[in-house]
């Protein structure tokens, strides 16, 4: 903890990672950085303003941050710790500290899914479908815990009883948005995590979110943009992923839809077009046998879904299914939608259905 207090202090002082790494290089280690007098720091090439800021660590109550973390079951992980995500360490400007609730290790296939806060029905449906299916196959879904597509992606992973990692743009004591705090316990229970580089008291200021987005991209093998406007945070995340050499995937959308202008532009600029999860698995070289895929997805269906599925051996119309199952229309429609989201059936024109 002696060493860790300096990393905590640096985060409370809001020293940017790129600057901190340069300062540490000049002083050999973080302990020297925070213990050398101002004039010595200046002699080593650190500017006067930064040197004086560094000395403010003596006024920082880093113990309070540790107490908050212990009380709320939050781990404090620095870039020097073995638990630090290896993919994140590879980016240009990795955070030097992470405040983590849950499990940040044991995520062999993390994939980010991001999108607009104001999705269309199409966006909601596809986000839930893709996150559910990918999570069912053991892939960790990474997103930003925001309203809209982010929430749906986390929800899809939870629904499949899979792992998901949420990245905050604020400190834990100022969780944002408040309504999504209900996801936290379930995310942690299922082996996922909530992470942030911001100390507990940091507010969800608008400039924090682009900073947050580099973690979403950096911690992941690839980024899927489900639905996004041309200047949205999701596009920022995609651009960061591109700059870091990570794959970017995008779902095609309607040409006249504002929430598809960003994704369609990504496709025009070379993003990988996806229509089903096999496009993602193949590109990222994630090998999962077809039979294993089916077994993992089908294990998540309930008895009513199995009943409906037993009548879809070939193309069948909803009117036929109503007679065969004896169900009413609202109930059957709901079950068919669930099976479609789980990637087991697909809807054809005229309310016909068949197995995928």
- Determine the average pLDDT of the residues in 238-263: 93
pLDDT value at 287 more than 90: no
The per-residue pLDDT for range 93-142, each reduced to its tens digit, is 999 999 999 999 989 899 999 999 999 999 999 999 999 989 988 899 99
pLDDT value at 25 more than 60: yes
For residues 120 and 257, the answer to whether their CB atoms sit within 8 Å is: yes
pLDDT value at 172 more than 60: yes
pLDDT of residue 180: 95
**What's the alpha-carbon Rg for the chain, to the nearest Å?**
23
pLDDT value at 150 more than 80: yes
Residue 131 to residue 135: CA distance in whole angstroms:
6
Residue 64 to residue 9: CA distance in whole angstroms:
11
pLDDT of residue 354: 85
pLDDT value at 44 more than 70: yes
Helix (H, G, I), strand (E, B) or coil at 253: coil
Task: Write the DSSP symbol of residue 295.
Answer: H
- Determine the average pLDDT of the residues in 194-219: 96
Alpha carbon separation from 177 to 71, 261, 326 (Å, rounded): 22, 25, 43
CATH 1.10.10.10 fits 301-355, yes or no: yes
pLDDT of residue 59: 86
pLDDT value at 27 more than 80: yes
- Determine the average pLDDT of the residues in 315-323: 89
pLDDT of residue 347: 87
- Determine the average pLDDT of the residues in 65-94: 96
pLDDT of residue 296: 56
Give just the sign of the alpha carbon dihedral 173, 175, 178, 182.
negative
CA 161 to chain centre: 16
Phi, psi torsion values for 79, nearest 5 degrees: -65, -15
pLDDT value at 176 more than 80: yes
How high is the mean pLDDT of the chain? 91
Residue 353 to residue 356: CA distance in whole angstroms:
9
Q: List the 352-355 sheet strands across, edge first.
A: 316-317, 352-355, 345-348
pLDDT of residue 324: 87
Task: Write the DSSP symbol of residue 111.
Answer: E
pLDDT of residue 124: 94
Residue 259 to residue 100: CA distance in whole angstroms:
32
For residues 221 and 87, the answer to whether their CB atoms sit within 8 Å is: yes
The per-residue pLDDT for range 46-76, each reduced to its tens digit, is 999 999 999 888 888 899 999 999 999 999 9
CATH 3.40.50.450 fits 110-283, yes or no: yes
Q: Where are the domains of the chain?
A: 1-60, 110-283, 301-355
pLDDT value at 24 more than 60: yes
pLDDT value at 294 more than 60: no
Reported as a pLDDT band with limits 50, 70 and 90, residue 245 is very high
């Amino acid at each position: 903890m002696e060493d860790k207090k300096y990393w905590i202090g640096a985060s409370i002082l809001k020293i940017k990672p790129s600057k901190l790494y340069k300062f540490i290089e000049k002083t050999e280690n973080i302990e020297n950085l925070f213990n050398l007098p101002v004039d010595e720091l200046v002699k080593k090439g650190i500017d006067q303003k930064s040197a004086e800021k560094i000395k403010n660590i003596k006024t920082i109550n880093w113990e309070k941050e540790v107490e908050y973390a212990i009380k709320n079951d939050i781990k404090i992980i620095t870039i020097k710790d073995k638990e630090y995500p290896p993919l994140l360490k590879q980016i240009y400007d990795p955070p030097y500290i992470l405040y983590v609730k849950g499990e940040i290790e044991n995520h062999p296939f993390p994939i980010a899914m991001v999108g607009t806060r104001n999705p269309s029905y199409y966006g909601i449906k596809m986000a839930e479908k893709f996150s559910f299916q990918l999570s069912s196959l053991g892939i960790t879904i990474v997103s930003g815990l925001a309203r809209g597509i982010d929430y749906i992606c986390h929800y899809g992973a939870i629904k499949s009883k899979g792992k998901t990692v949420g990245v905050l743009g604020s400190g834990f004591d100022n969780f944002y948005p408040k309504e999504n705090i209900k996801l936290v316990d379930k995310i942690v229970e299922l082996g996922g995590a909530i992470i942030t580089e911001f100390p507990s008291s940091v507010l969800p200021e608008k400039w924090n979110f682009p900073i947050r987005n580099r973690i979403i991209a950096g911690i992941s093998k690839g980024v899927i943009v489900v639905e996004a406007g041309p200047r949205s945070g999701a596009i920022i995340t995609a651009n960061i992923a591109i700059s870091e050499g990570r794959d970017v995937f995008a779902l095609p959308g309607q040409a006249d839809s504002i929430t598809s202008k960003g994704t369609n532009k990504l496709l025009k600029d070379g993003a990988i077009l996806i229509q089903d999860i096999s496009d993602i698995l193949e590109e990222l070289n994630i090998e999962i046998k077809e039979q294993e895929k089916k077994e993992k997805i089908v294990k998540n269906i309930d008895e009513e879904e199995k009943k409906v599925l037993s009548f879809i051996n070939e193309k069948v119309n909803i009117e036929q299914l109503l007679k065969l199952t004896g169900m009413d229309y609202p109930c059957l429609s709901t079950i068919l939608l669930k099976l479609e989201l789980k990637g087991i059936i697909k809807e054809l024109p005229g309310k016909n259905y068949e197995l995928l």
